[in-house]
Each structure stands twice: as C-alpha cells, then as structure tokens.
Amino acid sequence: MTTRDSVGAQPTPRGLTRALVLVLVVALVLLATAFAIGAGQPVTQKADDAALPTAAPTSEPTAAPTAEPDGTISTVVADQAVASFLTAVATTPPADLPKIVSGAILEDLQNDAQELEANGWTRTGRAKVDGVKVTDTDETAGTATVVACVDSTAVATLDENGDRLAPAATARALNIYSLARTDGYWRIVSRTFPDETAC
C-alpha cells in the first residue's frame, strides 16, 4: 500500500476557496480603511490605542497647575509648575492674566505689562526653566518655596519701532517662587529674587 506525501499533494477546491475568501476579506478591509482616510473620516481606533490619553480642549488660558498625591512637592513637579507658569504668562494677553494667576504674582505681571504699554514696547519669546531646587515645604500649610534658574535667552523686548532693546545683563537668572497647593495642585503665588541672581 502506498501513501501520498502531503507536501506534494494538490490543494483541494475547498482549500482554494478558503484562501480566496481570506484574501478578499483582507483586501476589503484595506480598501475600506483607505477610503475612510481619503474621505477625511476618522478611522476606528485599535484596542491598543483606546487607552491613550487625549488632551481636553480648554476654553481659557491656564497656568496648568501640577498635581501631586500628597502634601510634598518633588523637584519634577516644581519644574513642571514653573515651566507651565512661564509658558502661560508668555502666551496670555495682559487682560487675561487674572484667569491664570492671582495674588502678588498677578500684581507683578500687571505692573510689567503696564510698563511695556506705557513705553510702547512689546515682548516676544518664551523663558524656560534650567533647573529647580525645592528649598522649603510646609505640608500642613500646603506651601513650598522653589529656586529656579530661568533662561530668558529667547525673550526679546522690542521698542515702538519693533527694534530689539539691549538685552538684560544676564539672560539666565535665579527666581524664587512661592507656591501654594490648592485643590490638589501647586500654583505659583509670588516671585522674588536673591541677592546673587546668576545661575
């Protein structure tokens, strides 16, 4: 009795039909996806992508307060709080400043905006954080003090003709920020400067 080796066996009509159906299904899925993209319709997310967070749209500017689970503040959270503050201030019109800050820091920023307006000056660019150090934390009161090196190299003050004024003596300076924890978030409430500002 002889047996036929399966490797050399001819495919059955049923096997060919299954393969053809599978190829057609894959082609239809690819065609539908290409059509949806071409028509500007969103393609359904894969299960793996469904868990990715998306940013909720906001209707007004915010200083993006940073949350932390307990009453302490880490260097990472302090860095984020200062960076968010600098970004919000650089991108917010003076009239909208009360929407993002309050207290002493608001008065500081409003005075700065009034000085620019009185002279017919404008300011462009954005300062960035180049290192922070948490120097004091009061968990009970929910307050903290942070010393941050702020790099203003990209910031320019322009006169009424749009010409750049002479930059400050140093583009990098230490800033002392007082932060308060409200509603689970750290917010900057005031700013001072040390005697030696170089960093």
Q: Output the pLDDT for position 118.
A: 94
30 domain residue, yes or no: no
Segment 25-35 mean pLDDT:
47
**Is the distance from CB of 105 to CB of 190 less than 8 angstroms?**
yes
Average pLDDT, the chain: 75
Query: How many Å apart are CA 142 and CA 149, to the nearest integer?
Result: 23
77 domain residue, yes or no: yes
2 domain residue, yes or no: no
Q: Output the pLDDT for position 184.
A: 83
124 domain residue, yes or no: yes
199 domain residue, yes or no: no
pLDDT digit string, tens, across residues 40-75: 444 333 333 333 333 333 333 445 455 554 557 899
Count of CA atoms in the C-beta half-sphere (13 A) of 8: 3
| Number of structural domains in the chain | 1
- Beta-strand relationship, 66-67 and 156-158: unpaired
23 domain residue, yes or no: no
Segment 80-103 mean pLDDT:
90
pLDDT digit string, tens, across residues 109-161: 999 999 999 999 999 999 999 999 999 999 889 999 999 999 999 999 999 99
CATH number at residue 80: 3.10.450.240
127 domain residue, yes or no: yes
Domain hosting 104: range is 66-192
Segment 11-18 mean pLDDT:
53
Question: Residue 119 phi/psi, 5° resolution?
Answer: -90, -5
112 domain residue, yes or no: yes
